[in-house]
Amino acid sequence: MPRTKYLDRLLARIASRKAVVGVVGLGYVGLPLVRAMHEAGFHVVGYDIDAAKIRKLKTGTPYLKHLGRGLVRDLSRSARFMATNTPRDLGRCDAVAICVPTPLGAHDEPDLSYVVRSTEMLAGVIRPGALVCLESTTYPGTTREVVKPILERAGRVCGRDVFIAFSPEREDPGRPGVETRTIPRVVGGLDTPSTMAAATLYGAAVDKVVPVASAEVAESAKLLENIYRAVNIALVNELKPVLADMGIDLWEVIGAASTKPFGFQPFYPGPGLGGHCIPIDPYYLTYKAREYGHVTRFIELAGLVNRRMPAYVVSRLTGALNDERKALRGSRVLVLGVAYKPNVDDVRETPAAEIIRLLRARGAEVSYHDPHVPVFPMMRRHAVGLKSVRLTPATLRTADAAVIVTDHADVDYALIGRYARLIVDTRNVMASVRRPRARIVKA
C-alpha cells in the first residue's frame, strides 16, 4: 500500500514532537503511558469517564500509589498535558491509544463494551489521518473485526486516512526498575502504513519497538505471555496439595529444581490468581478458539486449578483449626494482605476477596490488615465492606488464625510469628522468620 499524505504528515509530526497524543483510560495502563509520551516531549490529552480521576489530575492529587506522588503533580503543572472527560478534546489528537478494561462476563465470555464505546466515541471526533491504537488485551481479530468497522463507518479508509494498530500493554505495577519506557513494545497494524505509524509513535517514547506482521500476531503474543504464566502457576498449584499430603515442602522442591542452570524457570504457588491479566486473558483465547471449532483444554484446566486455590486455602485453615478442636464457624480470622500482589494497592481480581467470601459463608468472623489498602473497594463480583485493622500484638492475639494472602514487604512478619496463634501461610513468607512461636501451616 503506497504512502499517503496523511501518513507522511503524521510521521513528520511525530518526529518533530508536534503530534498530540491522546490516551483513553487513565488507570494502571493509561497513566504510565501518559508519562512515557509526556516524557518523550509530546503534548498529551488524557481522557477518562471518571470525573474524580480528572479532578485529581488537574489538582496534582495521586491516585495510583505505585507511580509515586511526583507524576500527577508534574502533569498538573505541565502546559503539555490536558486531563479531560470531554470527548471533543480528543479531536485535536494525531494519535490515540485505547487503554480500557476488557473484563469477562458472567459466563467467562469477553466483555468488549469498553472498547466498543471508546472506539465509537473516537469515530465521532478524531481528525483525518489519525492513528488509533488499541492496547487493551483481547482475542485475536478484535482490532480488525471490532475496532476497524466502527472507525470506517464515517467514510474513512484504514491505511489511507485512518491508521489502526494493536500494541499490547505490558505493565507490571510495583515491579522496581521497570517502567513503560524500558519494556519492549510489540506493534502490529492492520496494514503496512498503520504498522509504520504505530511503530514510529511508540519508538519515540520507548527504548525498543518490535514490529510484527499483523495486529492478530500482536494480539496473540499478549495472550501467549499471560497464558504461559497462568499454566505454569497452575502446575505448581496442582502440585501443592499433592506434595503437602506426602509431607514434602513444595517451596523447597522449587528451590532445588531452580539450581538447574537450563531447562527450568521457577513459578510459585499461591492462594489464587489476581490482577487484570492472568485470571482473565486466557479466557479470551478459549472464547475465540470455539469459533474455529477448537477446545483449549489445557488453558481451561489451568484456569480451573487456579480458581480452586481460595477454597484450598480455606480447607487448610479448617483442618488446622480442627486439629486444635475449633470450628471455622465462629472463629476470628485475620487476613493479612488483600492486594493481588505485593507492595501495591491494586485489588483487581484479588483472591483475597474470594477467600473472605468463603470464610464468611462458613461462619467465620473476618478482619484484614493491609498497609496499602486502608478500605476494601467495591468490586464487580464482591462487596467486602471492610477496613484494614492495625497490626498489633492485641490484634494478633485475639485472632484464632491469621491467613497470609499477600506478602507485602512492609509488614512485620516477626511480630506476626510472635503473637499469632495459628498462621496459614500461602506465600512461604514465614520461612524467613526465625523461631516463630505460632503454629504455621502452609497452604
Closest alpha carbon to 195 in 171, 217, 173, 179: 217
Reported for 420-428, long-range contacts at CB under 8 A and 24+ positions apart, including other chains, are 420/334, 420/396, 421/397, 422/320, 422/321, 422/324, 424/313, 424/316, 424/317, 424/320, 426/269, 426/270, 426/271, 426/313, 427/270, 427/271, 428/251, 428/268
How distant is the alpha carbon of residue 286 from its chain centre?
A: 19
Q: Are residues 318 and 294 in the same domain?
A: no
Q: In this predicted model, what pLDDT tens digit does every residue of 351-363 receive, in sequence order?
A: 999 999 999 999 9
Number of domains within the chain: 3
In a shared domain, residues 277 and 148:
no
**Average pLDDT of the chain to the nearest whole number:** 95
User: Is position 133 annotated as part of the catalytic site?
Assistant: no
Q: Which of 64-78, 168-182, 426-440 has the highest mean pLDDT?
A: 426-440
Q: For residue range 223-242, list pLDDT tens digits in order.
A: 999 999 999 999 999 999 99
- Angle between helix axes 297-307 and 309-323 (nearest 10 degrees) is 30
User: What is the share, in percent, of the chain residues with pLDDT greater than 90?
Assistant: 91
Between the alpha carbon of residue 210 and those of residues 18, 183, 184, 217, 224, the distances in Å are 24, 11, 7, 11, 16
Summarised one tens digit per residue, pLDDT across range 314-332 is: 999 999 999 999 999 999 9
pLDDT above 60 (res 385): yes
Q: List, edge to edge, every strand of the sheet that includes 332-336.
A: 365-369, 332-336, 401-404, 422-425, 439-442
Q: What is the CATH number of the domain that holds 344?
A: 3.40.50.720
Same domain assignment for residues 292 and 324: no
* Eight-state DSSP code of residue 125: T
Residues 370 and 354 in one domain: yes
The model's pLDDT over 391-442, given as tens digits with 9 standing for 90+, comes to 999 999 999 999 999 999 999 999 999 999 999 999 999 999 999 999 999 9
**Cell representation of residue 329:** 464457624
Let me know whether 189 and 224 are in one domain: no
pLDDT in tens, 207-224: 999 999 999 999 999 999
* Structural domain range at position 331: 312-442
Q: Measured between alpha carbons, how far is 32 from 30 in angstroms, rounded to an integer? A: 6
pLDDT at 382: 66
User: Which among 193, 213, 233 is the end of a domain?
Assistant: 213
Which among 93, 99, 133, 277 is annotated as catalytic? 277
Q: Report pLDDT digits (tens) over 32-65.
A: 999 999 999 999 999 999 999 999 999 999 998 8
Per-residue confidence (pLDDT) for residue 2, from 0 to 100: 61
Q: What residues pair up with 23 in beta bridges, in sequence order? A: 46, 97
pLDDT at residue 1 in the model: 57
Q: Identify the pLDDT of residue 66.
A: 84
For the residues 183-201, what does the mean pLDDT come to?
A: 97
Confidence of residue 174 (pLDDT cuts 50, 70, 90): confident
Q: What is residue 378's predicted lDDT score, i.e. its pLDDT?
A: 75
Q: Give helix 309-323 / helix 351-361 axis angle, nearest 10°.
A: 50
pLDDT at 4: 80
Amino acid occupying residue 412: D
Instruction: Tell me how many helices (H) and strands (E) the chain has.
Output: 16, 13
Same domain, 35 and 140: yes
pTM: 0.92
